[in-house]
Structure 1
Amino acid sequence: MAQENMSLGVTDSQQPKRPIKLGFALLIGPACWLGPYVGVSATLLPAKIGELAPDNKVALVAIASAIAMIVATIVNIIAGSLSDVTRTRYGKRAPWIVINSILSALCLIALSMTKSVAMLLTVWGIYQAVLNAVVAPMIAQISDRVAPKWRGTISSFYGIGQAIGNYGSGIVASQFIDTSAVGIQVLAAFALIGGILSAFLAKEPSNLNEPKVDFNVATLKQNFMFPIKDARDYYLALAGKMLMVTGQYVIVGYQLYIFTDYMKLGKVETAASIATMSAILMVTGIVFTALAGPIADKTRKLKAPVALSTILLGVGAFFPFLAAKPWTMFAYAVVAGIGMGAYNAVDQALNVSVLPNPNSAAKDLGIINMANTLGQVFGPMIAAIAISTMGYHSIFPVETIICVVGGLLIMLIKRVD
């Protein structure tokens, strides 16, 4: 693990006990921003697009992903940068989290009411903007307020929240395939309540005593530009994460159509299969996230678990290639859940450890999260190309290849063991 850095917020000696309350805040937070996002993007948005434009649904899902990519890429950097220089009595992260959680919920409610594809895509773009203004400040709290020796454990809390949001959303969303508008509104309530509760539990202290930032050329370079100095490992982590998420979303982005169009299931069977798959992913993800973080703190190892879990995700993706049967997706869910659990437990700790400059943590973590967003976009786009040219069966080995390459890139990191 990286050496303790005095400029990186809290030191080991300053934090003798695990910050458990902050850990729970960072569990609830991602569960309630990621859950609504994944539930809508993976299931309810495709369902609503299928209602509005059934003949163009595959292409429109890819277009929605492209819009998400463009907006999120810009907002992640800007929101993270502005968060780094925010000075309020409530701290620099909490105001961004609370205000944009409220706006996220309002956008989802508006999305549920849209009657045209054009309006749906417009609201989806606005939602992406406010959502990513929650994400970048939230994850920066690990850099701000967690000592290096506890980062594996607190990253596990964040990872459990991700597992609940990522896979629990599928259980919720699968119940509303025929009533997508209601499902989106239910998920909007999670976004609203969870964002506010997370900020309340985190109880970020005032940072009015921190020096105010003068906006000059040096400030712009540090807070609004991509890092250049000592950034090799940072970009390897970014590339590895992007490929892992891209591979994951090759399947996740089209899981509804995999069951309906590839496996030829009816609506009732599809809803049951998505719920079963999501439950498997959530249980295995939570268990292995809870185990892997403390183990990482004890062994002081971050790189190998992240790399191996990325490769494991690709291995699991090969099962549905063998047969167009629901059991193969459940087998994928078991292997992917284990891999994603271990990955989520230590991924954020790895990202914090390779930061080029801790003083611009939210911005740089926002750029890494941009890789997360790009992967969620590239995955469905790659899947759409593969489906249209080679058929649904081709997307599974494509994910395998992408994830293996991502794992190998992570192993090239030098700064972290």
Structure 2
Amino acid sequence: MTTASAPDPTTDLRPEDPEEAVAFFEDAAGNDDPPAPIKGVRRLLAWIIPANLGIFLIWGAVPGILLPAQISAQFGEADKVANLTLVATIGAFCSMLAQPIAGQISDRTRSRFGRRAPWIIIGALAGGLSLVGLAFADSLVGVVIAWSLVQITYNVAQGPLSAIMPDRVPLKRRGTFAALSGIGLMVGALGGQIVGSLFFNSIAAGYVTFAAFSLIVLTLFVVFNPDYSSKELEREPFSFGDFLRTFWVNPVKHPDFFWAFTGRLLLYTGYFAVTGFQLYLLTDYFGVEKPETVIPMLGMISLAGILLATVVSGPLSDRVGRRKPFVFISSVVTGLALVFPWIWPDLTAWMVFTFVSGLGFGMFQAVDTALMSEVLPSAKSFAKDLGVVNIAATLPQTLAPGVAGAIVLAFGYAALFPVGILLSVLGAFAVWPIKAVK
């Protein structure tokens, strides 16, 4: 099949000829390598970092800092673990459902702005309003509802945003793109902790600030990276069976996808089972009296490890043409980093953990995203399949608060560490059965 010619990407990536747009999507569906113009890719490379920052600053600041602080302040210290477990579990469950549904809807969207852009903007706007609602929630039920809406709406934006790489980035550039995407993701998550700690005593102002920043950045991403029109694409009839399959990829037909999904699921579960309780670990396990003064330093330490690993591993993976060894090593390193605070229950050990796990998690984010993009079952349903992929990130956040909360209540905080180590190492070995990627 002949690749469709594209317009000058410095002006408008959307072709005027409807047949050209159809040819673009048909070519993408028939090849693993989309016919993206190189200048357009460069512009995407420049914008994917701030786009991911817009969303992941929220994921770093709210569930890790502001939400636990809000729950402790409003509902008391005695039941804070149980209350946080309830709020986080319900919210993450909503997130798990929202992203693949949003992905399938965007796959089927027909508009002059393409399939992804409308939902990125809608999700950012609705998410900002949900954050404002969370700022003024004054009951536990209100917090549960508002946080669930935040999870749903921002995943409406994140699902289509995650489909940008397989939609428009050539295979040979995906390691670099994934590395830059990973920088935005991890800098956002850790930067969110740092910035969130500045709003530790003014939580409502923090929510409003993050809402405004996200809306501005994601809007600019869409404006400066216009997509091909999807108006002329054939509309596929709706099937309820297809809707239910939004949450499913057949592991027998697509074993590589299954193993990549499983590896990510295990690592994320092990990691978030521990880090999801960082604020309470600092106060109740390490004895830190003012955690808001320590969290920025921890974020910078982790950020140093992540940036170092991400900048090196993504392009290096492209150069050597291998993904699995990087993913294996990163999972093992992330898991073994948990040994330090387990055997040495001190703030210094937690600082060592944040740097070492930053190295491992940075490498994982840079390379595993590229690996996942190469084992997707169908080019016609990138966003839907990536929504299923992202269940591997959101499901651990669904399971981890409940499981980790039960572990803490039954055995104490120290019991979290061996569980995290075991799951992370098992996640490392899950990548070796993958055959389509070296």
TM-score bracket, shorter-length normalisation: over 0.9
2-structure distance, mates of 1:402, 1:321: 15
- Partner residue, 2:328: 307
Change (3 A) 1:298 1:391: same
- Partner residue, 1:21: 43
Deviation string for 1:247-295 (max 9, x for gaps)?
Answer: 111222110011101111112xx12221111111122212221211111
Shift of 1:389: 1.4
- Partner residue, 2:13: none
- Partner residue, 1:153: 176
1:296-335 mapped onto 2 (5 Å cutoff): 296-335=317-356
2-structure distance, mates of 1:202, 1:191: 16
Q: Decide which of 69, 92, 95 is 1:47's aligned counterpart.
A: 69
CA RMSD of aligned residues (A): 2.0
Change (3 A) 1:97 1:18: closer
Mapped pair 1:353 → 2:379: no
Unaligned runs of 5+ in 2: 1-26
- Partner residue, 2:15: none
Q: Decide which of 197, 206, 228 is 2:220's aligned counterpart.
A: 197
- Partner residue, 1:290: 311
Change (3 A) 1:8 1:333: farther
Change (3 A) 1:217 1:176: closer
Shift of 1:382: 2.5
Task: Give the counterpart letter for 2:351 in structure 1.
Answer: F
Q: Is the 1:76–1:133 Cα contact (8 Å) retained in structure 2? A: yes
2-structure distance, mates of 1:412, 1:9: 24
Mapped pair 1:73 → 2:99: no
Task: Give the counterpart letter for 2:268 in structure 1.
Answer: V
1:6-405 mapped onto 2 (5 Å cutoff): 7=29, 11=33, 15=37, 19-54=41-76, 55-216=78-239, 220=243, 224=246, 226-228=248-250, 230-267=253-290, 270-405=291-426
2-structure distance, mates of 1:182, 1:315: 38
2-structure distance, mates of 1:14, 1:377: 36
SS at match of 2:430: helix
TM-score, reference length from structure 1: 0.93
Q: How many residues align?
A: 410
Between Structure 1 and Structure 2, whose CA radius of gyration is higher? 2
2-structure distance, mates of 1:331, 1:396: 14
Q: Is the 1:112–1:180 Cα contact (8 Å) retained in structure 2? A: yes
Amino-acid identity (%): 30
Q: Is the 2:28–2:34 Cα contact (8 Å) retained in structure 1? A: no
Which region of structure 1 is more displaced relative to structure 2, 193-202 or 345-354? Answer: 193-202
TM-score, reference length from structure 2: 0.89
Q: Is the 2:32–2:379 Cα contact (8 Å) retained in structure 1? A: no
Unaligned runs of 5+ in 1: none
1-structure distance, mates of 2:129, 2:59: 13
Q: Is the 2:35–2:168 Cα contact (8 Å) retained in structure 1? A: no
Deviation string for 1:319-360 (max 9, x for gaps)?
Answer: 111223211111001111111111111121111111111211
